[in-house]
């Protein structure tokens, strides 16, 4: 039987680079002639929210109706005769019926539709992808993680490279082949100080050996590296970062809005050298450097 729709899946643990890989495909010139849609799904699977996001991105008009049949009808009017690339980023739900319903709703026989799914679950990847073999993102090598750390930490500009080489390579091995761990640790190493002892403290931290409660399919190395990065944050930045937990994962944060919220909640204290606004700009750059924030493209 001919498959109704082309579905490609990318799976792997959190922080391994699935979304980055999907973004490279999404931005490939080969898809310039496609109408493009990007939906962040996350843990709570809400089919109406997914369909409404597709409608908005295809038509530029927000669907205000919450009746499922009307939402589907509106979606079906937009699909015929179009070439469409839809990315469903960070899909968790492995319920077979809901996944089949999702495929059936998006499918239209007179359209050329490609769905690209990223997920942390191999089971989800296999269940939603019936016509193409799921692609698993493999861990980076230790050398690749070391290259990322060197770039992020400003290693090439240091005068003590020979003394730091072994320490840095050991830290890279602790990343477990996960790009996110290397990115956050590299920036942390740039920020914490210029002494060899500062790098030694990161390498020998007890955080690497702490037991973790892992409900998010993240490796222990990623959790430890993010916790380490948080522990080295300045006390003034921590409440601003913690406040960001009020936003749902994948939420597009408007920088100026966030700055005014931080200031309005009195989370930012001006110094003799920097104003509130200057501090907020500095904090945002730090969170971007740690990969806790990402630019929306």
CA distance 63 to 56: 7
Residue 36 is given by DSSP the state: E
| Nearest alpha-carbon partner for 207 in 192, 222, 225 | 225
Q: Are 137 and 11 in contact (CB under 8 A)?
A: yes
**Helix or strand (DSSP H, E) at 115:** strand 112-119
18 lies in the same domain as 132: yes
Other CB atoms within a 10 A radius of the CB of residue 232 amount to 19
Would the pLDDT of 221 be above 80? no
Question: 219: which 2 tokens?
Answer: 């490796």
**pLDDT-wise least confident of 3-12, 53-62, 150-159, 206-215:** 206-215
Task: Give strand pairing partners of 86.
Answer: 37, 115
My answer on whether 36 and 156 are in the same domain is no
Residues 6+ apart with CB under 8 A from 183: 148, 152, 290, 291
Among 193, 151, 118, CA closest to 291? 151
Residue-wise pLDDT tens digits, 45-65 = 888 889 999 999 999 988 888
pLDDT at 216 over 70: no
User: Do 151 and 90 fall within a single domain?
Assistant: no
Q: What total of structural domains would you count in the chain?
A: 2
Can you tell me the distance from the alpha carbon of 203 to that of 171, in angstroms, rounded to the nearest whole number?
A: 5
Strands 35-42 and 112-119, by their bridges, are: unpaired
Single out the residue in 83, 108, 136 at which a domain terminates: 136
Which tens digit of pLDDT belongs to each residue from 239-274?
Answer: 999 999 898 877 889 999 999 999 999 999 888 888
Residue 296 lies in a domain: no
- In the listed set 111, 136, 161, which residue is the last one of a domain according to the structure? 136
Tell me the average pLDDT across 30-37.
93
> DSSP secondary structure string, 235-256?
TTTHHHHHHGGGSPTT----HH
pLDDT on residue 277 = 94
**147 and 284 inside one domain:** yes
- Is 215's pLDDT higher than 70? no
Statement to judge: residues 120 and 166 lie in one domain: no
Closest listed residue to residue 219, CA positions, set 53, 54, 15 = 15
User: Is the pLDDT score of 227 beyond 60?
Assistant: yes
Q: Are 11 and 119 in contact (CB under 8 A)?
A: yes
More confident residue, 87 or 217: 87
> Looking at the domain assignment, is residue 295 inside a domain?
no
User: In terms of domains, do 233 and 268 share one?
Assistant: yes
- pLDDT of 76 strictly over 80: yes
CATH (domain of 34) = 3.40.50.300
Pairing mode, strands 35-42 and 6-11 = unpaired
| Model confidence band, residue 2 (pLDDT cutoffs 50, 70, 90) | very low
pLDDT of residue 217: 53
Residues 6+ apart with CB under 8 A from 265: 243
How many C-beta neighbours within 10 Å does residue 162 have?
Answer: 8
Taking 60 as the threshold, does the pLDDT of residue 3 lie above it? no
Terminal alpha carbon distance of the chain: 38
How far apart, in Å, are the Cα atoms of 46 and each of 53, 72, 165, 227?
11, 14, 48, 30
Identify which of 157, 109, 107, 143 has the alpha carbon closest to the alpha carbon of residue 128.
Answer: 107
Structural domain including 15 reads: 6-136
Q: Give CA–CA dist 167/161, Å, rounded.
A: 10
Examine the pLDDT at 1 and tell me if it is beyond 60.
no
> CA-CA-CA-CA torsion for 162, 168, 173, 177, nearest 10 degrees?
-110
């Amino acid at each position: 039987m001919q498959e109704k729709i082309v579905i490609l899946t990318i799976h792997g643990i959190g922080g391994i680079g699935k979304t980055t890989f999907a973004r490279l495909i999404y931005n490939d010139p080969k898809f310039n002639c496609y109408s493009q849609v990007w939906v962040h799904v996350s843990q709570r699977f809400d089919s109406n929210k997914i369909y409404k996001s597709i409608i908005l991105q295809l038509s530029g008009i927000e669907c205000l109706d919450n009746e499922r049949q009307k939402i589907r009808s509106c979606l079906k009017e937009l699909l015929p005769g179009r070439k469409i690339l839809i990315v469903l980023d960070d899909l968790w739900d492995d319920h077979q019926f809901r996944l089949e319903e999702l495929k059936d709703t998006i499918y239209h026989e007179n359209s050329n539709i490609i769905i690209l799914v990223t997920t942390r679950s191999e089971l989800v990847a296999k269940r939603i992808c019936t016509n193409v073999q799921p692609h698993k993102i493999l861990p980076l090598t230790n050398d690749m993680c070391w290259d990322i750390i060197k770039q992020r930490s400003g290693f090439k500009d240091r005068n003590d490279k020979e003394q730091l080489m072994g320490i840095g390579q050991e830290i890279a091995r602790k990343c477990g082949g996960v790009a996110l761990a290397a990115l956050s640790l590299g920036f942390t190493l740039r920020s914490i100080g210029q002494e060899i002892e500062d790098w030694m403290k990161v390498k020998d931290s007890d955080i690497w050996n702490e037991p973790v409660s892992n409900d998010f399919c993240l490796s222990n190395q990623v959790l430890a590296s993010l916790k380490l990065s948080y522990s080295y944050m300045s006390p003034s930045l921590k409440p601003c970062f913690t406040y960001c937990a009020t936003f749902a994962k994948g939420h597009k944060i408007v920088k100026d809005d966030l700055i005014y919220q931080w200031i309005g909640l009195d989370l930012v204290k001006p110094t003799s050298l920097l104003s509130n606004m200057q501090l907020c700009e500095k904090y945002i750059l730090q969170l971007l450097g740690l990969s806790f924030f990402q630019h929306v493209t």
